[in-house]
A and B are shown apart, each in its own frame.
Chain A
Amino acid sequence: MSLLEAALVAFSVASFVYFVIIDVLYLLLTGLAWNDLRGTIWRRRYLGLDEAFASPLTPGISVLVPAFNEEAGIVESVRSLLALRYPQHEVIVVNDGSNDGTITALVAAFDLVPVRQALREGIPTARIRAAYASRSHPDLLVLDKENAGRSDAINAGVNAARHPYVCMIDADSVLEHDALLRIAKPLLDHPESVVAAGGTVRVANGCEIDHGQVQSVRLGHSRLATIQTLEYIRAFLVARVGWGRLDALGLISGAFGIFDRSLLQTVGGLWTGTVGEDLELTLRLHRHLRERDEPYRVVFVDDAVCWTEVPEDFATLGGQRRRWQRGLYEALRRHRVMIGNPRYGPIGLVSAVYFAVFEFLSPIFALLGLLVSVGLYAFGSVSTGYFVSFLAVSIGMGVVLSTLALAIDQVGYGRYERRRDVARLLAYTVLESVGYHQLHNVWRFLGYVDITRGKTDWGVQRRRGLARPAPPT
């Protein structure tokens, strides 16, 4: 056996171990999610949401909607946000220098008039060109800002927000009618400790959407969207729930989360220099509070649901995943001190390590490891038994974990009512594990290229798909 061959075999074994660890980790998260579901599913009836809705003690939330060229859907979307079941909320649309009729559509629909709105100078942002208040809707504010990206738009919204909590979403996010009330429930119950909460993001492609509400849940025809549906189910209903149970929620998705406004202002809002702004912010909040030894909690609320459109073509999806990889790198680089550092509790010891090893380095172990093992087997350097075992832990377990996630979704959430949709999702667990995961890792690998080239442009699609799911194994 040559030295090279020995090295390759060693690498293959390392990648084998890598897969075993992540399989075990995911089985653990699945177990935690099952367990959590057992405890929460029957309690949902007794949450007292009606009482929270009727209570004037429920704190106000400012819903921030960054909008870039959203002329087509913005009016419906804002109307539906204004009608959400929540006792006290305002909607702040921040037009991020759109070059379509976003502002015109809003002005016409909501009877907007320019006002000289006073804004906090807290977080620096691009120039606000104008502000509009609505004659018909006292809880609507529209800011018209020069184009500087989604994060900058959200920061401007934070500066204008009147309520003690802000909710970040995308302009094309569709919140379920009581999503805001549900996501706010932990902070009603524990106002002293909860500083941020994330909700579940689901794939809206194929669903029938009317008046800014999902009327009927369906799978679309797109294969890629169906695979992402599975991916999101696993990322949110298994991984996030599990991480939440471990008190190690390292990421609140930019597509749907609420934050304590004054804390956001203290830490300076979203970092506009990264494409991984949601991860970076979540890590920064943890870091800030841990370093000050303040008691706090960041929670995940599984039954607060937001629906979002995901890319249906390879180019867009690939671009999105490359960007996520770069964002992951930027966030981790800024907070590298947290990785594996016990000072930061479960976030440092578990989540940050997980992000670094099992997300950022996944192309190396998961993709390269698989390729090397296939090659070694082809040249007869490893036994059939080893190779089949390798496939079992790398690909077989992917099917197992997605199937279990689908079962959790069926038991606890059951948004998909049609038998054939569920059956289709079940069949797609194979396609997800054989093909999609590998492709995903190719995109992540290309992300390395972007990082080394120091790419700083935002990409045309930057406002799409901020609902970052955890990576597949």
Chain B
Amino acid sequence: MSADASSPTKPVILIADDDEDILHLLAFRLERSGYAVVSAKDGEEALRVAREHVPDLAVLDVRMPKLDGYEVTRALRADEATRRMPIILLTAKVQDGDVQRGFDAGADDYVRKPFSPQELRARVQAILGRR
């Protein structure tokens, strides 16, 4: 799955989640807000898509098959091309250490599931506006 990522003016956002319904909803929402969206269904695909498209921001689910969100974050941080890419983690977990772990891996922000798409969009805008 890949959306129109060719337009040079629109910021490109990578969404990775193993739940297709979420992918479609977020893609719809973000495209409507003027972003181009590329998506991935597992951690490995996310990494591949991120390296290929070098998006302006990535929204990663923490719990994904093959590679989890922390690992993808860490791998992106280790790669010269994607090192400064802002990353927002989506997490369903509420354990004490998890948020910390996300930040340790190099994430910029996190959104807890169940989430409000408006809130996610606001975070995306805040980060991309900041740059």
A53 to B62, CA, bound (A): 13
Contact of A138 among B68, B71, B74, B101 (CB under 8 A): B101
Set of chain B residues within 8 Å of A55, measured between Cβ atoms: 94
Q: Is the CB of A211 within 8 A of B65?
A: yes
Q: Nearest CB to that of A54 among chain B residues?
A: B92
A136 to B44, CA, bound (A): 17
Q: Nearest CB to that of A85 among chain B residues?
A: B63
Contacts A85-B63, A177-B65, A211-B65 given; does A56 touch B96 at CB 8 Å: yes
Asked if A83 CB lies within 8 Å of chain B CBs, one says yes
Asked if B66 CB lies within 8 Å of chain A CBs, one says yes
Q: Is the CB of B95 within 8 A of A56?
A: yes
Asked if B93 CB lies within 8 Å of chain A CBs, one says yes
Q: Is the CB of B95 within 8 A of A87?
A: yes
Asked if B97 CB lies within 8 Å of chain A CBs, one says yes
A213 to B93, CA, bound (A): 22
Give the shortest distance, in Å, between A31 (CB) and chain B (any CB). Answer: 38
Q: Is the CB of A83 within 8 A of B65?
A: yes
Contact of A54 among B65, B68, B74, B93 (CB under 8 A): B93
A88 to B97, CA, bound (A): 10
Q: Is the CB of B101 within 8 A of A56?
A: no
1/0 contact string of B36-70 vs chain A (CB within 8 Å): 00000000100000000000000000010111100
Set of chain B residues within 8 Å of A82, measured between Cβ atoms: 68
A53 to B91, CA, bound (A): 11
A470 to B71, CA, bound (A): 41
Tell me whether chain B's interface is mostly helix, strand or loop, or mixed.
loop
Set of chain A residues within 8 Å of B67, measured between Cβ atoms: 79, 83
Give the shortest distance, in Å, between B21 (CB) and chain A (any CB). Answer: 14
Q: Is the CB of B74 within 8 A of A136?
A: yes
A82 to B67, CA, bound (A): 10
Set of chain A residues within 8 Å of B94, measured between Cβ atoms: 54-56
Output the residue of A83, A138, A177 with the most chain B CB within 10 A.
Answer: A83
Set of chain A residues within 8 Å of B68, measured between Cβ atoms: 82-83
Contacts A83-B65, A136-B74, A211-B65 given; does A88 touch B101 at CB 8 Å: no
Output the residue of A50, A54, A82, A177 with the most chain B CB within 10 A.
Answer: A54
Q: Which chain B residues in 77-125 approach chain A with CB under 8 Å?
A: 92-97, 101
1/0 contact string of A75-88 vs chain B (CB within 8 Å): 00001001101011
Set of chain B residues within 8 Å of A50, measured between Cβ atoms: 92
A79 to B66, CA, bound (A): 8
Set of chain B residues within 8 Å of A138, measured between Cβ atoms: 97, 101
Give the shortest distance, in Å, between A190 (CB) and chain B (any CB). Answer: 23
Set of chain A residues within 8 Å of B93, measured between Cβ atoms: 53-54, 87
1/0 contact string of A174-210 vs chain B (CB within 8 Å): 0001000000000000000000000000000000000
Q: Is the CB of A53 within 8 A of B92?
A: yes
Set of chain B residues within 8 Å of A213, measured between Cβ atoms: 65-66
Set of chain A residues within 8 Å of B71, measured between Cβ atoms: 136
Give the shortest distance, in Å, between A395 (CB) and chain B (any CB). Answer: 44
A83 to B42, CA, bound (A): 12
Give the shortest distance, in Å, between B97 (CB) and chain A (any CB). Answer: 7
Q: Which chain A residues in 52-66 approach chain B with CB under 8 Å?
A: 53-56
Set of chain B residues within 8 Å of A177, measured between Cβ atoms: 65
Give the shortest distance, in Å, between B106 (CB) and chain A (any CB). Answer: 11
A211 to B67, CA, bound (A): 9
Q: Nearest CB to that of A57 among chain B residues?
A: B94
Give the shortest distance, in Å, between A90 (CB) and chain B (any CB). Answer: 11
Q: Nearest CB to that of B42 among chain A residues?
A: A211
Give the shortest distance, in Å, between B92 (CB) and chain A (any CB). Answer: 5
Q: Is the CB of B66 within 8 A of A211?
A: yes
Set of chain B residues within 8 Å of A87, measured between Cβ atoms: 93, 95
A238 to B112, CA, bound (A): 41
Give the shortest distance, in Å, between B86 (CB) and chain A (any CB). Answer: 21
Point out residues on B near A: beta carbons under 8 Å. 44, 63, 65-68, 71, 74, 92-97, 101
13 A-B pairs with C-beta separation under 8 A: A55-B94, A56-B95, A56-B96, A79-B67, A82-B68, A83-B65, A83-B66, A83-B67, A138-B97, A138-B101, A177-B65, A211-B44, A211-B65
